[in-house]
A and B are shown apart, each in its own frame.
Chain A
Amino acid sequence: MNLFSPYTLPEVLIFLLKGLRMTLFIAGISIGLSFVFGAILGIGRQMGKGIFHKICALYIECVRNMPLLLYILAFRFTMPTYIGNYKIQNKPVASAILAMTVFTSAMVAEIIRGGLNSIPKGQWEAAASQGFTRSQTLIHIILPQAVRNILVPMVGQFVTCIKDTSFCAVVGIGELMMNTTIIMGKFKFADQVIVLYAITAFIYYLINILLMHVSQRLFKKPC
């Protein structure tokens, strides 16, 4: 029996890699946006004052305590499809990226806040004594040190983000998990499905292990 009947192994792999491309596309954009929003939120919560601090804190607490799947479904079903008489195609991928960004940026914010917290208070005082303003201290002294501290949890969060894109299969986006399901549609035997799942699992593993190693190499600077 051909293990991939009615398909061949190359056909299966190509289709899975197409799914991987979508996975990386969604994850990549979400990670990039989350990093920017997360930094603003994290710094805002740690150092902001008044209403800005409250908004950041509220956002982080609200988002962090609700499951990602809820956001993916909510954005998929509630993004506007009509404005006036014009139909705006609700691009499923766009809604998924938005949902992932909303969710991941709250996680990134907490990681960044943790990094800022890890810098001893004395650093602020020392900088102040040298005539640095608060923002100068943050940019030139605190952040460079904090970045080193948050590197590991940050890469971990990005790995989580790549894995989390598998939730997008629930709303029918053709990423790695969804494409696995589609291939499975024509499989009749348990062995076939188990092998297919193993291949998919291996692809996720490979990508994430690669990401870890590359990031470790890049940031392993002598100091």
Chain B
Amino acid sequence: MKKIIAIGAMALLSAVALFANGTTETAPKTEVDKIKARGVFTVGCKEDVPNFGYKNIQTGKVEGFEIDLANKIGEKILGPNPKIDFVGVTAKTRGPLLDTGELDAVVATFTVTDERRKSWDFSDIYYVDSVAVMVKKSNGFKSFKDLDGKTIGVAQSSTTKKSLEAEAQKEGITLKYSEFATYPEIKVALDSGRIDAFSVDLSILAGYMEDSCMLLPERFAPQQYGAAVKKGNAALLKVINDTIEELKASGELDKMQENWHLK
């Protein structure tokens, strides 16, 4: 019986590996040509981050600054009114879905880091954000230093924890962390007193501001958002970079950010 189970497990694994290998392609055409041939540009986006990528519950369509940007990139490849397939991703799924080839690109509040550059190719930066910390007014924290020994709520697989750690070392304080899957959960944890502070990128944090909360004055670790493509996908990366460059030069990128209250 043991032998049978071992053989079965091996068969299962090799079947999975076979499926994974099935996604590699050999044609000499570039990725951009393939998107043109297909007529559909597949983009990974956030569905639960207001102003960047958020599913409008009335229309069921995603909208936000990053969605607008993806549309501009789509226009550059496919012409006016491009057909774009937006696939909802999370911090956990965006990487693997690029690797399997399901997504052509990811535009989903993806902070560019050296470590991530080893796995995926990133475009030029289209948005710079910084990390900020939200606390309850009633707790009486006035600066980052006051958080010594306190628990900070951060998102899973995000870069926030690292930047907080660096800043804490500089200030000579120690912090405890509590990781959550989604931002609303962190806000609830803050409201209910399970954590003392909520830390994430400022633009996201702004979506959760209300009267009983305040932001600490410190801003640190500039977070640079870039679009990501599969490693080695130079053709698509160039189109994305060209688009961002043109939007920056014409001032339209700033306008798009203003539209979504990001400036």
Point out residues on A near B: beta carbons under 8 Å.
Answer: 7, 11-12, 14-15, 18, 54, 58, 61-62, 74, 76-85, 87, 89-90, 92, 170-172, 174, 178-179, 181-190, 193-194
| Bound CA span A174–B86, Å | 13
Point out residues on B near A: beta carbons under 8 Å.
Answer: 4-5, 8-9, 12, 16, 19-20, 22-25, 27, 29, 34, 38, 42, 47-50, 54-55, 57-58, 60, 85, 87-90, 92-93, 96-97, 100-102, 182-185, 187-188, 191-192, 207-210
Also in contact, A182 and B48, with CB within 8 A (given A61-B5, A85-B27, A87-B34): yes
Chain B residues lying within 8 Å of A170, measured Cβ to Cβ, are 90, 92-93
CB-nearest residue of chain B relative to A92?
B87
| Contacting pair B23 A62 (CB below 8 A) | no
CB-nearest residue of chain B relative to A179?
B57
Given A11-B57, A89-B42, A183-B57; 6 other pairs, CB 8 A cutoff: A54-B4, A74-B16, A78-B19, A83-B22, A188-B208, A194-B188
Chain B residues lying within 8 Å of A61, measured Cβ to Cβ, are 5
| Contacting pair A186 B50 (CB below 8 A) | yes
| Contacting pair A171 B93 (CB below 8 A) | yes
Q: Looking at chain A's contact residues, is the secondary structure mostly helix, strand, loop, or mixed?
A: helix
| Contacting pair B4 A18 (CB below 8 A) | no
Chain B residues lying within 8 Å of A79, measured Cβ to Cβ, are 19
Also in contact, A193 and B184, with CB within 8 A (given A15-B57, A90-B102): yes
| Contacting pair B191 A190 (CB below 8 A) | yes
Chain A residues lying within 8 Å of B47, measured Cβ to Cβ, are 172, 178, 182, 185
Chain B residues lying within 8 Å of A78, measured Cβ to Cβ, are 16, 19-20, 100
| Bound CA span A78–B207, Å | 35
| Bound CA span A174–B61, Å | 12
B9, B29, B88: the one within 8 Å of A172 (CB):
B88
CB<8 Å pairs between A and B, sample of 30: A11-B58, A12-B57, A18-B60, A58-B5, A58-B8, A62-B5, A62-B9, A62-B12, A77-B96, A78-B16, A78-B100, A79-B19, A80-B22, A80-B23, A81-B23, A82-B101, A84-B25, A85-B29, A90-B100, A92-B87, A170-B93, A181-B48, A181-B184, A182-B47, A184-B182, A185-B184, A186-B207, A187-B187, A190-B188, A190-B191
